[in-house]
């Protein structure tokens, strides 16, 4: 059902697979349809499955605890970037990491790998206790809804920086990666323009926490990553990923 | 005086001009030095004048209502971008415009020209009543302090979109500008990679409000601007300027 700007509401339903199927919306999405948008049976909606497929649908049934939608047609999904980018991001303080997840999904990353480094103010145990990964997954879905993507990037299980270096070395993360450092932290770090030779398929961007990388982390990262810098001004830690992705996608012609 | 990360505190003092002068800090900066950082006479500080000059200084006198600093040496200021960018930004709702000012200063713009367009939810009169320009000037100073710039971009007097088009036509704003539109809003809008032919000296980036441009605004803008788009995903309005500047500076080799 178009809103007053002519936009049809979009919902995330991982079960959506084939035209003709009737699928049940996840509880959060059902609540949003019923209570926030106040749609009724017969409403036309769009459904995306988070894996790149998007459908036209019709609401066939609304009950208190469930909403069913029939998939009537396939739509062309918004194109994904040709280069699959995994953002390996040191966990930031407070809500800043939420903003990074939201922005990275909007910018088109394929996956987000949270990490804990020497100067992170969070431990892996605290992330598990706080159920942060589940929260970030909800934020990724919300951002995909807003920006029009039919793909919801995976939020990978948080790891230590050492784990990330090992994963890059063993090619379990797309390698070589690109590790972002303060201009003063490394001689010869490359600018985005100097990284214009696009990776053919995939890469990992490695971004540090508020306090930056410890010197030995830069040394270890440099063994599997190209070191990159975003210019002479000091960027806020939570702005580094959006600036890095925007800059690299621009020089790669995405 | 270095903090525990070895960073010497920086203060904005528009009067700072020559080595040997003793200058008085503006009231906000004096309060910050005295009450937040609790510095004392004899402390070593950095002073930038907002017009590109940066000094080493020593606090010579602290009184309740004033702080004096003697300028002892000139420092190399952080380099400004070669292309002077004026951001002509439609005023956004709530605090979003504050974030745009902060980010644009951090990204290195030379000036910010707030504007009111057909779909803005603010009038010029309301901006004046709310003393918004003064607020944005304070945010620009704070952002310059944080990001290390010695230049504080000018916040120009808010104008209507019609005024902006006239100023671009008459070259009172750097022209031709680059006007950002939704991918669906204009056929043939250019990507950042297609705008790689860098302007030699200066340009104006024109960015719309949450609701986008009215069709006739795009038509009028296209007469003095190149139309540009940032890809197929829908970006949040407040993210468009940081993404646009990051992308263009990358392809321009800034």
Residues pairing with B10 in the sheet = B46
Where do the CATH 2.40.240.20 domains begin and end in chain B?
10-75
Query: Per-residue pLDDT tens for A185-238?
Result: 878 899 999 999 878 799 999 999 999 999 999 999 999 999 999 999 999 999
Task: Give the per-residue pLDDT at A6.
Answer: 55
pTM: 0.95
- Residues B98-126 have a mean pLDDT of 97
Give the pLDDT score at A52. 97
Q: Name the band, by pLDDT with cuts 50, 70 and 90, for residue A183.
A: confident
CATH 3.40.1280.10 residue ranges in chain A?
84-251
The pLDDT tens digits for A20-66 are 999 999 999 999 999 999 999 999 999 999 999 999 999 999 998 89
Q: Which of B214, B212, B204 is nearest to B236 (CA)?
A: B212
Give yes or no for residue B2 having a pLDDT over 70: no
Beta-bridge mates of residue A111: A86, A154
Average pLDDT over residues B127-140: 96
- Which residue of chain B is at minimal alpha-carbon distance from A243? B246
User: Which pLDDT band holds residue B5 (cuts at 50, 70, 90)?
Assistant: very low
| A247 to B242: CB separation less than 8 angstroms, yes or no | no
pLDDT in tens, B37-75: 999 999 999 999 999 999 999 999 999 889 999 999 999
pLDDT at position B187 over 90: no
- Interface with chain A: mutation pick from B75, B233, B240, highest number of A CBs within 10 Å: B233
State the fold for domain B84-251.
Alpha/beta knot (3.40.1280)
Give yes or no for a contact between B107 and B80, defined as CB atoms under 8 angstroms apart.
no
- Please, what CATH class does the domain formed by B10-75 belong to? mainly beta
b/e code A205-238 from CB counts within 10 Å (16+ = b): bbbbbeebbeeebbebbeebbebbbbbbbbbbbb
Q: Which residue in chain A has the smallest CA separation from B102?
A: A236
pLDDT at B6: 55
CA–CA–CA angle A46, A48, A52 (5° rounding): 140
**Mutation target among A147, A152, A191, A232 for the B interface, most CBs of B within 10 A:** A232
Interface confidence, given as ipTM, is: 0.94
Given a cut of 70, whether residue B220 has pLDDT beyond it is: yes
Question: What is the mean predicted confidence (pLDDT) over A142-170?
Answer: 97
- Stretch B154-169: mean pLDDT, rounded? 98
Helices A215-222 and A161-169: crossing angle in degrees, nearest 10, is 10
């Amino acid at each position: 059902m178009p809103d007053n700007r002519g936009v049809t509401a979009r919902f995330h339903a991982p079960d959506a697979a084939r035209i003709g199927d009737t699928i049940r919306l996840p509880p959060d999405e059902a609540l949003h349809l019923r209570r926030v948008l106040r749609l009724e049976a017969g409403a036309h909606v769009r459904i995306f499955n988070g894996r790149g497929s998007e459908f036209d649908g019709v609401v066939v049934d609304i009950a208190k605890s469930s909403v069913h939608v029939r998939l009537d047609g396939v739509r062309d999904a918004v194109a994904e970037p040709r280069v699959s980018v995994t953002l390996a991001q040191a966990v930031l303080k407070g809500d800043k990491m939420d903003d990074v997840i939201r922005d990275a999904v909007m910018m088109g990353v394929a996956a987000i790998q949270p990490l804990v480094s020497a100067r992170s103010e969070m431990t892996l145990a605290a992330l598990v206790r706080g159920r942060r990964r589940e929260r970030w997954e909800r934020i990724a879905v919300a951002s995909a809804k807003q920006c029009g993507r039919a793909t919801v990037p995976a939020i990978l299980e948080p790891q230590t920086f050492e784990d990330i270096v090992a994963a890059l070395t063993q090619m379990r993360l797309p390698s070589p990666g690109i590790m972002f450092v303060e201009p003063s932290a490394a001689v010869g770090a490359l600018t985005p323009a100097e990284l214009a030779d696009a990776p053919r398929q995939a890469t990992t961007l490695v971004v540090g926490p508020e306090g930056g990388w410890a010197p030995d982390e830069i040394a270890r990262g440099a063994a599997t990553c190209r070191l990159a810098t975003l210019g002479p001004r000091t960027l806020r830690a939570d702005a580094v990923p959006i600036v890095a992705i925007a800059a690299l996608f621009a020089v790669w012609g995405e």
